[in-house]
Amino acid sequence: MKKKIVRQIVFVVAVLCAWQLAYRNGIFPKLMFPSIGDIGNALLDGFSHDKLGNMVLYSLWLLLRGMGLGMLLAMVFSGLSIASSWFSDIYNLLVSIFDLIPGVALIPLAILWFGVGEAPILFIVVHSVVWPMSRSIIDGFRSVPPILVESGRNLGLSKRQQVFQIYIPASFSSVLSGIKIGWARAWRGLISAEMIFGTTSFGAGIGWYIFYKRVNVDIAGVFAALIVIILIGVVVEYLVFSTIERHTVRKWGVSR
Amino acid sequence: MGGQQMSESFPVDYLAIEHLSKRYLNCNGADYILKDFSIEVPKGQFLCIIGPSGCGKSTLLRCITGFEQYDGSIRLGGKLLREPAVDRILVFQDFNQLFHWKTALQNVQFPLKMSRKYEKAEYTAIAQKFIDLVGLSGYENYYPHQLSGGMKQRVAIAKSLAIKPQVVLMDEPFASLDAMTRKTLQSELLRLQSIERSTVLFVTHNIQEAIALGDRVIALSQNGVIVKDIPIEISKPATPATPGFSELWAELNQALSAEPDIV
């Protein structure tokens, strides 16, 4: 575990050094390729002057709501597809169809249906989460060993009980990877939507910040926003997901 | 879930199977795996079922458990059995029948908890008692991946007995164990059954195991035809050194060796 972190830190430091060297030697135009210092300043500046902090919080708030709703729907639909073979057949078709459609491609429709505001953004985020997550949960459910399902059926468990007591825990590593995929897709959907919609009546998000910095040709500011996204991703990966894994699949001997 | 209450008035508390037939569809139409199988098993009997591969012994257990549709009737204390329920628990050969996300103790607790008949303190105490009975004290909080094959089967047995089913169905539970562990678990099972007095249907390939465990042994041939049905009246725990053992062994072996083994 420690070795892994040391290796990863060494890698990141090496990339930063290479970056700074490239900047010093002027390999790329300064406008395209700001220094580490410029990016750092833009980051500080963003938080102190440009309300980047508020935008990050607003984006996270949208993200959590969209992802929560998406996860709930994916769980419910995947569970229903265990309970009913009719539902399963149709839902599998829907997943194959909609998983192919990028969230951004739905933005014109979302505007038409929901107007401008939070609703279309949430719609895009939910769309980005539901299908890939369902895919991974359903794949997990399908690979649950029949002997575990029969152990549950033997006790006279209802379909609902089977889903909660057997399918979800037995396929938890797939459920978890579904959540991870959902999380990544949610970010993508959110940032794309924010860059196109700009601000909602409640506030502006990090996607808007990137758009705004781009328009002002503040490339260091664009990088600063990307770094914020990366940092949030790293924190969630290492704190949230790792903690869940440690207390579940690793403890159970399912994953190393 | 429904239909679990027993008809107390029914005088005989035995498992009665009449004209049980089970077919599997295949390209030639349908093949019988069990054809017109009938048997009565009194309460508390330890019945061992031996037979060649494909004779339908596992299918028989699956029909009784309620996992398969069948023709004919299977009754327990007069009640027709069609759906799985906690009054019949099937123990598999596969070590992976335990829930890997639960500890040994939680695995044993699970059926008790789902039955909603007990308070938490109650079912915890019952599960602990059965963990102790199968000799796993100290391993309560181990996850299945931390247990050996023999220990996993002990947990599976504890889990099946703790819920106090009327019938325990065992499908070669010791077949994947080494000889030493198997012998230990056989005597443990006998000891447990003498305490719990549940009806046991125990499927095995092993004649010696059948004689060592059973009060009665039936030998099946293809389509579940009973070729031998003998009571085992020698003293328990029976070993090959027990008087009468070799005669029983020879009798069953002869009945089975007349059968071609379909592999």
Q: How far is B22 from chain A (nearest CA, A)?
A: 19
Asked whether residue A172 carries a pLDDT value surpassing 60, the answer given is: yes
> Residues of B with CB below 8 A from A166's CB?
99
Q: Among residues 127-156 of chain B, which lie with CB inside 8 Å of chain A?
A: 143-146
B219 beta partners:
B50, B228
User: Which candidate in A154, A166, A251 is best for mutational testing of the B interface (most B CBs within 10 A)?
Assistant: A154
Phi and psi of B242, rounded to 5°? -65, 135
Contact A147 B144 (CB under 8 A): no
* pLDDT level of residue A254 (50, 70, 90 thresholds): confident
Is the bond preceding B237 in cis, omega lying within 30 degrees of 0?
yes
Most A-contacting residue of B100, B160, B176 (CB-CB within 10 A), to test interface: B100
**Closest residue on chain A to B104 (Cα):** A252
* Residue B89 in contact with partner chain A when CB distance is under 8 A: yes
Residue type, A237: E
Question: Mean of the per-residue pLDDT values for chain B?
Answer: 88
B145:A248 CB<8 A: no
Cross-chain residue pair A155–B143, CB shorter than 8 Å: no
Tokens (6 digits) for A56: 């990050």
> ipTM score of the complex?
0.88
pLDDT of residue B67: 95
Please name the residue of chain B whose CA is at the shortest distance from the CA of residue A247.
Answer: B101
Q: SS3 string of chain A? A: CHHHHHHHHHHHHHHHHHHHHHHHCCCCCCCCCCCHHHHHHHHHHHHHCCCHHHHHHHHHHHHHHHHHHHHHHHHHHHHHHHHCHHHHHHHHHHHHHHCCCCHHHHHHHHHHHHCCCHHHHHHHHHHHHHHHHHHHHHHHHHCCCHHHHHHHHHCCCCHHHHHHHHHHHHCHHHHHHHHHHHHHHHHHHHHHHHHHHCCECCECCHHHHHHHHHHCCCHHHHHHHHHHHHHHHHHHHHHHHHHHHHHCCCCCCCCC
Question: Which residues of chain B lie closer than 8 angstroms to A154, CB-CB?
Answer: 65-67, 84, 86, 88-90
What's the pLDDT score for residue B126? 95
How many A-B residue pairs are in contact by the CB < 8 A criterion?
63
Nearest CA among B54, B58, B55, B76 for reference residue B67:
B58
> pLDDT exceeding 90 applies to what percent of chain A?
71
Burial A12-30 (b: 16+ CB within 10 A, else e): eeeeeeeeeeebeeeeeee
pLDDT at A200: 67
Shortest alpha-carbon distance between residue B190 and chain A (Å): 23
Pick from B1, B97, B145: CB nearest A151: B97
Indicate yes or no: CB of B143 within 8 angstroms of CB of A165: no
Residues of B in contact with A169 (CB under 8 A): 99, 101
| A158, closest residue in chain B (CA to CA) | B1
Task: Sort out which chain B residues have CB atoms less than 8 A from A153's CB and list them.
Answer: 67, 84
Residue-averaged pLDDT of chain A: 91
Does residue B118 sit at the A interface (CB-CB below 8 Å)?
no
Confidence of residue A11 (pLDDT cuts 50, 70, 90): very high
Confidence of residue A2 (pLDDT cuts 50, 70, 90): confident
Residues from chain B that touch A157, judged by Cβ atoms under 8 A, are 114
Print pLDDT tens along chain B (263 aa): 344 444 444 445 689 999 999 988 877 777 889 999 999 999 999 999 999 888 899 999 999 999 999 999 999 988 999 999 999 999 999 999 999 999 999 999 999 999 999 999 999 999 999 999 899 999 999 999 999 999 999 999 999 999 999 999 999 999 988 888 888 899 889 998 888 888 999 999 899 999 999 999 999 998 888 999 999 988 877 888 888 899 999 999 988 887 655 54
pLDDT tens digits, residue range B155-171? 999 999 999 999 999 99
pLDDT at residue B7, as a whole number: 43
Cα separation, A188 vs B70, in Å, equals 53
Q: Is B166 on the interface with A (CB under 8 A)?
A: no
Tell me which chain A residues have a C-beta less than 8 angstroms from the C-beta of B94.
147
- The residue whose two tokens read 């080494």 is B178
The reply to whether B65 touches chain A by the CB within 8 Å rule is yes
> Which residue from A minimizes the CA distance to B163?
A155
Band (A204; pLDDT cuts 50, 70, 90):
confident
Residues A150, B89: C-beta atoms closer than 8 Å: no
Alpha carbon of B96: minimum distance to chain A alpha carbons (Å)? 8
Do A165 and B90 make contact, defined as CB atoms within 8 angstroms?
Answer: no
pTM of the model as a whole: 0.86
Residue B139, helix vs strand vs coil: coil
A residues 128-187 closer than 8 Å to B (CB): 145, 147-148, 150-151, 153-158, 161, 165-166, 169-170, 172
Q: How many residues does chain B have?
A: 263
